[in-house]
Structure 1
Amino acid sequence: MVREIDYSVAPRRDILCIDVKSFFASVECVKRHLNPLTTYLVVMSHAERQGGLVLAASPMMKAEFGIKTGSRRYELPDDSRIIIAPPRMNLYLHVNEMILKIARRYVSKDDLYVFSIDEFFMDVTQYHALFGDTMSIAKRLQQDIWQELRLAVTIGIGENPFLGKSHWMWKQNIIGAA
């Protein structure tokens, strides 16, 4: 006998998956008073070597030159617009804490789940009375981070972390968007 499950009565959550675009590269741009969305910058270890490793690339480096995390120094084009920055982990950790401080304005620490230095999840289910619907909270968070830190974030929304991440990946065209 096959038993059908009525999912309409299952509890639903409103989860945001927040990812900072090209985090290390974006932080380096902001520290130089440059727009992280329009600047050609890579964060690279051992830039003096041809095998130096790109740890992060700005969105323009990715879009125009196809340079991404894991690219090598010898793959960089000879272009005077490109800035090569050494990694500064203490700075990135400090900025990460600033981002999380903004997020904690919207949810308690129990509803904030840090996944990595540039990605975290928020359960906003119980905060609608304070901040509006899920989309409104996502937009406000995105605006606050941009206005205060000049960092662009993308946000996926789902009923659980997996669906939130899947939505984010679909929006970024990482998984098939038909």
Structure 2
Amino acid sequence: MKCFYASCIAMLHGIDILETPVAVVANFNQPGSVVLAALPLMKEKYKIKTGSRRYEIPKHPDIQLFEPKMSFFIQMSMTITKLIANYVPVDAIHVYSVDESFVDLTGTEKLWGSPEQAAREIQAAILDQYNVPSAVGLGPNMLMAKLAFDYQN
């Protein structure tokens, strides 16, 4: 998922992910606290990204900062995994982290078309239902898929 924590917070608060600069910061009480996620506008306009520090965030009235809601993030991750299970068997989903999974699309061609088409369909469903953007790396195995993802993003 792209900007997973920030996208989940935006969904929870009804914030437009393309129009609002949002960052999720680990701890408001510590200036050196790390930014866990930032929406695209935060990255583009203010140069704040995952790994930036809270003290680097400019004081601007448009910027919205949130602390993490880990139980909500985990719940959303499980909900998205259940959505993916509408496209493939559960044992074809390999959860790697809260915001990343590997999905084996082998044998789904008759239902969803090529792996590229299936991936686009899943991405569209996640975006439509939860307003959480995602990125995909395709490959013949998990290593190649991860390398393709990292190269592309």
TM-score (norm 1): 0.81
Partner of 2:126: 145
Q: Does 1:125 align with 2:106?
A: yes
Residue 49 of structure 1: CA displacement?
3.0
Q: Structure 1 stretches (4+) deviating beyond 4 angstroms?
A: none
Deviations 1:95-122 (A, max 9, x none): 0011001110111121111000000011
Counterpart residue identity of residue 43, structure 1: V
Residue 50 of structure 1: CA displacement?
1.9
- Which one of the candidate residues 23, 26, 36 is aligned to 1:45? 26
Q: Does the 8 Å contact 1:47/1:53 carry over to 2? A: no
- Percentage of pairs with the same residue: 32
Partner of 1:60: 41
Unaligned runs of 5+ in 2: none
Partner of 1:92: 73
Question: Structure with the greater relative contact order (CA < 8 A, sep ≥ 6): 1 or 2?
Answer: 1
Structure 2: distance between partners of 1:132 and 1:144: 15
Deviations 1:149-172 (A, max 9, x none): 011011111111111112112221
Structure 2: distance between partners of 1:53 and 1:133: 39
Counterpart residue identity of residue 103, structure 2: M
Q: Which has the larger radius of gyration?
A: 1
Which structure features the higher share of strand residues?
Answer: 1
Partner of 1:160: 141
Equivalent pairs counted in the alignment come to: 153
- SS of equivalent residue, structure 1 residue 124: coil
